[in-house]
Chain A
């Protein structure tokens, strides 16, 4: 089961040279992660383009689904597997 986080809170993500996440950061906490699955969603939905690069990331404490918003480059946390 996953927990779907309502507003997809923005998070800080460290990326490697390919642009894949290697660490998630909250204030005071850093979680090293490894991307284990990756896909992309693109839609020109109602003329408001939507591009998201999804990464399923696994760390020592959690498994999560994060995405990079292709329109502004921000990172968001969408799901926590639990």
Chain B
């Protein structure tokens, strides 16, 4: 196995800021200081003040009261990283990465590069291509490492080493041998006990008898011993790129009014939703892209994109059409349309009519969600609100609840 590893440390924060945080900047990502959530990421400066991932935001605020608290927008973080994974998939079929920003592995990519030399050139060239692909999509440059195991590639990236020579466990073990044990993914107790035994480098640990290590450290020790001997058994788990359904329609002649567009949209929504329904799937996001027929000499963007997040995974053509039309009516195109593309992604199992809440209102709930979503397009997200619990012990009335927009899931 030959692996290229890319790691963007603090990717959620980098994405939220659109850049690397400056060294002295105290920034916490996860929500506003009075929100009920947890810290998702923090700048190094906030880390030195004791702010940690997973801490309640209130604790983080008491540790770093001067910090800037950034709200959390999961989709805004996940989308660019997913786009980067898609881009890397054009380079290699086996790409592993976690797109959920709240997952610890978010921001790390393993790419299987065995046998790709004929296609793209040597490893250095391949690395250059990979970096060029993701550079416009993600802020900052990643740490990179090339190795024969996941552990080896990860360590190479952390210490900024040149690629580990291709081969098997001998090459891997030889590369790891002089490196300190602190690079091992072991908890503090095990690290201390290794220190007490006088072990400093991975080579020293690798030289021990396997049964002796198991006897002293149990199963956890056995795994560490395998790692330092170049025997990381964890396989690459390539992601399955999300299924996307798309339909393109050329409009001849270009449509200058909404009416013909409505007709085409009706047809396209119907076709795509039929395909979804046949698989028992539903779309959770829709992207409508219109290509404008701009007269010669007129500058400006030729494409218009309308993104619509659906209240629940759905294959209901009529509802989808209505939401997209509402978007179109809210921001009508400024020139005739010569091409329409509708893309549905995030094909999840359809939610259907789940009556999870035992009350009569639940029968209307799904329809209400759709209606609120379409009103939010017309009037703005922040007009229709729901109240949720705030700090129940607060003595100040406004802290006992907070408003959230009714379109938030």
Contacts and interface: CB of A to CB of B under 8 A. Distances in A.
B395 interface: yes
Given A46-B61, A46-B62, A46-B65, A78 B397 contact: yes
Contact of B396 (A46, A47, A50): A50
Contacts of A43: 395
A29 interface: no
Contact of B397 (A4, A46, A47, A50): A4
A41 interface: yes
A43 B65 CA distance: 16
A41 B61 contact: no
B33 interface: yes
Contacts of B62: 46
A28 B395 CA distance: 33
Interface string B60-96: 0110010000000000000000000000000000000
A41 B396 contact: yes
B65 A41 contact: no
A69 to B, nearest CB: 12
B333 to A, nearest CB: 38
Nearest to B58: A46
Main secondary structure of the interface of A (DSSP, over half): strand
Interface residues of A, number: 9
A47 B398 CA distance: 19
Contacts of A52: 396
Contacts of A47: 65
Nearest to A4: B397
B382 to A, nearest CB: 14
B395 A41 contact: yes
A4 B61 CA distance: 27
Contacts of B61: 46
Interface in B10-50: 33
Nearest to A50: B396
Contacts of B395: 41, 43
B28 to A, nearest CB: 13
Nearest to A79: B397
A12 to B, nearest CB: 22
Contacts of B398: 4
A16 B190 CA distance: 70
Interface in A15-69: 41, 43, 46-47, 50, 52
Interface in B376-398: 395-398
Contacts of B396: 41, 50, 52
Nearest to B397: A4
Contacts of A79: 397
Nearest to B62: A46
Contacts of A4: 397-398
Interface string B80-122: 0000000000000000000000000000000000000000000
Contacts of B65: 46-47
Interface of B: 33, 61-62, 65, 395-398
Given A43-B395, A47-B65, 5 more contacts: A4-B397, A41-B395, A46-B33, A46-B61, A79-B397
Q: Which 3 A-B pairs have the closest CB atoms?
A: A41-B395, A47-B65, A46-B61
6 contacts: A41-B395, A41-B396, A43-B395, A46-B61, A78-B397, A79-B397
